[in-house]
Amino acid sequence: MSINSKVLALKYRPQKFKDLIGQDVVAETIINSIKSDKVPNAYLFTGIRGVGKTTIARIVAKSLNCKNDIENLCETNLCENCEGIVNSSHIDVLEMDAASKTGVDDVRDLIEFSRYGPTSSNYKIFIIDEVHMLSKQAFNALLKTLEEPPKYLKFIFATTEIKKIPITVVSRCQRFDLSRIKSSELFSFIKKIKDKEKGNVSDDALKLIVKISEGSVRDALSLLDRGLLTLDEKKELDLNEAQKIFGYFDKSQLIDLFEFILKGEEKKVIEIYRKIYDQGIDSKVFINDFLELVYYFKNINSLTLESTNFLLNDEEFLKIKELSKKVDNQTLILFWQFTIKTLEELDIVSNQNLSIEMFLIRLMHLVSLKPRDDHKKRDEITKIRETNDDKKILSEFKNDTVNQIKNITQEKKITLETKFKTELDQKLSIHSFEELLKICAKKKEIKLKYELEKNVNLVSFENNIMEISFNDNLDKNFVKELSSKLFEWTQKRWIITLSKTKGDISIKEKEKNNKDRLIDETKKTKIYKDVTKIFSDAKLIEVKPNQRDND
């Protein structure tokens, strides 16, 4: 196969560390370790697809075995060792796919082969791709050799699923986490490739390729290859053509659709969506793009045009910024939740198109339920309504009680006051974590109260939003049950978020700390020391504050 007939991802595969993009720190660390002769027993490269795991593994193998040394690593006129490694035919560099050789017998053959030194190079190197596919027994068989291999033996592992590799293996390797390639770097890279290939591709089309590839160089080159092959050489691959080829649509249509959702114009919304659908757009692609748009509406004031990963152009960016002033954060958060829920529903509904149309209609109804008045005015209206409702309820209860007393003796026990109180109790206000605990006790929700006190660490609590962290003992249905009860008690939707922040210590931990503190303080008092002199085996178990002191 000639070099010109290769796909772009193979044709422009980096052959030296300096050719890599977006992995400068990793490259510098490896180069320094080889120059200082501190090469680890095993390298472990992890990251998403197409960021250079196998490529770096081969460059490391070349750097260790090149006859010209790492300072003059072969690039064009390859030495015997480098040529063998590039062609995967070197006798001392074995490249293995763990997806097809997963068993313990395969690893035993590998270990047996490792007993013999290299024939024509400095090191015998085993490159194992997708190493997480090895079986548990295979990993165990590898452990001893991995920890104390012969000086001439090196392992290089690559994986996209680092969590599936036993920690005993990870701890024996020098681990490198390869990051996604930044959009600006990837754009510059594929633009250079486009120029080398003399491709007629617009910058907007290249930006779309960068967005779809999600930081993967291989994906970006594959998409570019596909785009160049689809059109005639004389015709430019512009944004419109690229959207058709890659199954993406004009994002300005989505912004227009969002605007009409906010206005509640159902006919326009459905009309725009059907135009998008007729372009052959996949339902999940549409929903994911809608999620991205909700994110930009929520965070547009803290973003720059460059940070939007080439999703938006100048005009679209400014339009979102202007529209975002007309929608509050609570609505956007609800939009996000509805959209995530719809994404889950798509696998259930046979006609996904109908599901999305109903999703858009629900969003319009959601907006219509939220008044656009300012918060103060909204609160005043709510108070007036509640006051009028209370008077109406009181009047109805009075009439009801008078009419019922004559006929039903049991109604004598239910006074107007208790009925009215029952109705008011149905809608509670909860302003703090402590109030929540008291209401759980009052409502006899003992399990919820126990979980809140024992297994929950409070991070923040305000405006029907509670942010918490938790320990491993928290019941898996806790958030669902608490949300349900909060809605039942307050008649309002609560947002309960799980945070990585540690948060405050749990109530039970506070009680234990207070108890320990009281015991420590008491042990320093004279009376305790006098008692222990008389009763040497006495132990202080609990300290209760004197009631008179508290009074």
Indicate the residue type of 441: A
Start-to-end Cα distance in the chain = 93
- Band (pLDDT 50/70/90 cuts) for residue 420 is very low
316-326 mean pLDDT: 84
| Stronger pLDDT, 55 or 462, i.e. the higher one | 55
Task: Confirm if 221 and 13 have CB atoms less than 8 A apart.
Answer: no
Please compute, for residue 22, the number of CA atoms within 13 A of its CA located in the half-sphere on the CB side: 21
Q: Judge if pTM exceeds 0.85.
A: no
pLDDT, residue 30, reads 93
What is the tens place of the pLDDT at every residue in 99-121?
888 888 888 888 888 888 888 88
Q: Which of 158-162, 231-235, 355-359, 470-474 has the lowest mean pLDDT?
A: 231-235
3-state per-residue secondary structure call for 156-176: EEEECCHHHCCHHHHCCCEEE
What is the tens place of the pLDDT at every residue in 160-185?
999 999 999 999 999 999 988 888 88
89-96 mean pLDDT: 88
Q: Which residues of 36-58 are buried (b: 16+ CB within 10 A; e: fewer)?
A: eeebebbbbbbbeebbbbbbbbb
- Band (pLDDT 50/70/90 cuts) for residue 299 is confident
pLDDT, residue 222, reads 92
| Stronger pLDDT, 294 or 414, i.e. the higher one | 294
Q: Is the pLDDT of residue 397 over 60?
A: no
Q: Is the pLDDT of residue 548 over 80?
A: no
Indicate the residue type of 105: D
pLDDT, residue 486, reads 86
Q: Is the pLDDT of residue 405 over 70?
A: no
| Stronger pLDDT, 366 or 63, i.e. the higher one | 63
What is the tens place of the pLDDT at every residue in 504-514?
777 777 778 88
Q: Is the pLDDT of residue 411 over 50?
A: no
Rg (CA), the chain: 34
Q: Is the pLDDT of residue 235 over 70?
A: yes
- Band (pLDDT 50/70/90 cuts) for residue 311 is low
pLDDT, residue 312, reads 64
Instruction: Work out whether strand 174-177 and strand 153-159 pair parallel, antiparallel, or are unpaired.
Output: unpaired
What is the tens place of the pLDDT at every residue in 433-467?
888 888 888 888 888 888 888 888 888 888 888 88
In angstroms, the CA 165 to CA 429 distance is 49
237, β-bridge pairs:
201
Please compute, for residue 382, the number of CA atoms within 13 A of its CA located in the half-sphere on the CB side: 9
74-78 mean pLDDT: 78
Q: Is the pLDDT of residue 310 over 90?
A: no
Long-range contacts at 341-350 (CB < 8 A, ≥ 24 apart): 342/287, 343/284, 343/287, 343/288, 343/291, 346/283, 346/284, 346/287
* Cβ atoms within 10 Å of 453's Cβ, excluding its own: 16
515-521 mean pLDDT: 81
pLDDT, residue 305, reads 60
391-414 mean pLDDT: 46
Q: Is the pLDDT of residue 143 over 80?
A: yes
